[in-house]
Structure 1
Amino acid sequence: MGIRSSLQVLMVLGISLVAVSPANAGEMFVTPSFNYIDDDPKRAADDATGGQIGVGWKLSPRVTVEGVAGYAVMTGYVDVDVAELSANVLFSLGPDTRLSPYVLAGTGIMKTYSAAIENETSALANLGVGVKYGFGEGPLSLRLEWRTRFELFNTITYTDQITSLALQYTFGKAAYVMPIPEPVERDTDSDGVLDKYDVCQSTPAGQSVNSRGCPLDSDDDSVADDLDSCQNSPRGAIVDATGCEPDNDHDSVPNHLDQCPATSVGARVDSKGCEIHAVIELSGVSFESNSDQLLPGAESVIIDAAATLRLNQDFIVEVAGHTDSSGADGYNLMLSKSRANTVLNYLITYGANPANLTSRGYGEAEPIADNTTAEGRVANRRVELRILNR
């Protein structure tokens, strides 16, 4: 086989590789090389130099195929021209960086020509290692390679050591594009909410914020929780800089609910802001005759009384029940106790401290109105709260 025929075979081999390669639209390269051949001593020839040219395709990030045609002249006792044609697979040992080591293996044919001996054609096998050095992101690379070439199926088997220095030019290599850095997501006030979502971008360091980056304000009174002394202000309430509703007489009843806005400092007050005397009259708490069932309107009065007791947690209170004079004394005493218990249970339901409450029935012994009239008897069927530790 002549050199011209060998090159034709190389072209056919290359075309077939492209046809089956999934990367035929990818990188293709050409590699002219200078070879130094440490030939087999059995050839009785001197070491030689030669050249080769390779054409390759990158099948994947680590696998490349390359077709190679080479030629060399070995001088010695008998001068021999050697031509070879081979196909090799190169496997990269790491990612494709500037310095990339690889191993190779392949097979092919070789032919020796000589005026003194018979020309021979034989099979060959290649095994070797190499390293590729890329010049930046451009198409040029430098390759240094060492391989052993085994001449097979001949009358004499030869083994040659070949060192190659090659310049590789890659076609179709994607131009390197400097990556555009991702924009930095800023959080100027370091509150954990990115600026693009942060409605309040100047919150003080360490301030607790909500998902919008604004200071937490649990009761929506426009005073941040960490500055709010009254974190459960009613929605819509007018508050001062401390987050509390104004209370000019400092009795813990805000101005807009205070019916006695000028109570003396330290005075005990009820839920309306008025001073509490020894007995809290539950006006409006009345009962059906001969019953402990409350008349309509009584429950709202008890709710206000419970609020007063919550304001004065230290009060020890007796819930005192009374009746009119209808019926026997013993029965009225039992009925008054039952009425007192009804009110006590309502007070506890609405938040009064049960540990501070007792109940007692007084029967008909303490009337406040005339039992001879219907209106008087209704007034006497009552319950009142007596402050025992005022």
Structure 2
Amino acid sequence: MIFMEPRWNNIVTGIIGVVITTIIALVFWAVFADPRGPMRMYTPLWFFAITAWLIVPTIWLYLIFENYPFTKLPIKKRAVMIPVSVVITLICIAFFFYFYGPLAVPYFSWPKLESMGVAKLAARDYSCYALAYSAIVAIFGMGIWPILFNNWPWRNKVEQPALGFAVFALGLSISVFLFQVLVHPHFGEAFPISQKFVAATPWWKDFALTYHGNFIFGWFVWAVVYLIMTATIWEGKPWTAARKQPWIGIFGLVGIILLSLLTMYVVLSVMDINLGYAIPGGRRSAGLYWRYLHSAEVAGFMLYPTLALYYYFGNVPKKFSEEVNWAIRTVIVFVAGFIIHQLYYLAGPALLGVPTSWDSEAQLALVWATWWIVPLVYHCWFMDRWPLYKTPVTES
């Protein structure tokens, strides 16, 4: 990213950025996602699948290819990257629906599932769940190398686009491996007849007390959040304490996974205090699968404040020691995320058209939490926050 300075002070610029991107998100939500609107794509997970896949190409373009070849364009004209990214998303979804699903793994394609006798609504639910999961895994898998390993060992040795292709190939391999280990077993148990010959029994069933993939979801979304925090408000810390690659990356990867698991169990403990102990096999808020999902949703509400604090508010504060700055930013994000979480359930039914019951099985707060960051990353990653930020004027 080119060095830019806020057009006004950090607070005013940040507030304007939040207001503008929120309004844009609300307008598009009203058209495409709101159950009361014209498109009504909120269920069954259709808008979630699209939204998650809208983010994946931004990772490819910004983090992996470093906006090549669009860096040659003026900042204003880089808005062309937005439709390019959207087209890539549509191509990816079409690939799963009409090629990979029908020819290899049917649960990625609802047309294929319907042709096999699965009910229309169930087919869409299965395939959109798979698409959303694959996107979340890809966001993490593709982000590991540029964020944690700083593109080691190619950094400063290989130029774009060769660097991008190398990192993309590695990230794709990591993502496919993670999906097969973390997600595919869920689909072996998802259908009426267990697919034990093509998918292993979920390896987490004995200690998670559920076969459901929401156990993975419950900590993996936290891993995505902590990876993004590492790249933004944490400025690489504390993993840079290892001082040298690849140890920084290894320390960061292991640390993020452990921290994510710990956070999930803290969230589950808070739920136990407020809701009573979960019942294996229970439904809605009494069920473990529901609580794992809501751990992921709590994590999702940390995404927007993390990115907004870093890009729109100038990653304040900066006046204290690095350790104190790190701690204050983290607290700001968690407090803001908790407040947003509460506001969502208070205002969501009227503003977004989501279910009024917070434990409804049709309630998926992650849809909004994920969609909300899409206008922000388009603006910040593709357009360097223009016109809210400007190139500093230097005196001759």
Interval of TM-score (by shorter of Structure 1 and Structure 2): under 0.3
The structure richer in helix per residue is 2
Q: TM-score, normalised by structure 2?
A: 0.17
Q: TM-score, normalised by structure 1?
A: 0.17
- Structure with the greater relative contact order (CA < 8 A, sep ≥ 6): 1 or 2? 2
Larger Rg: 1
The structure richer in strand per residue is 1
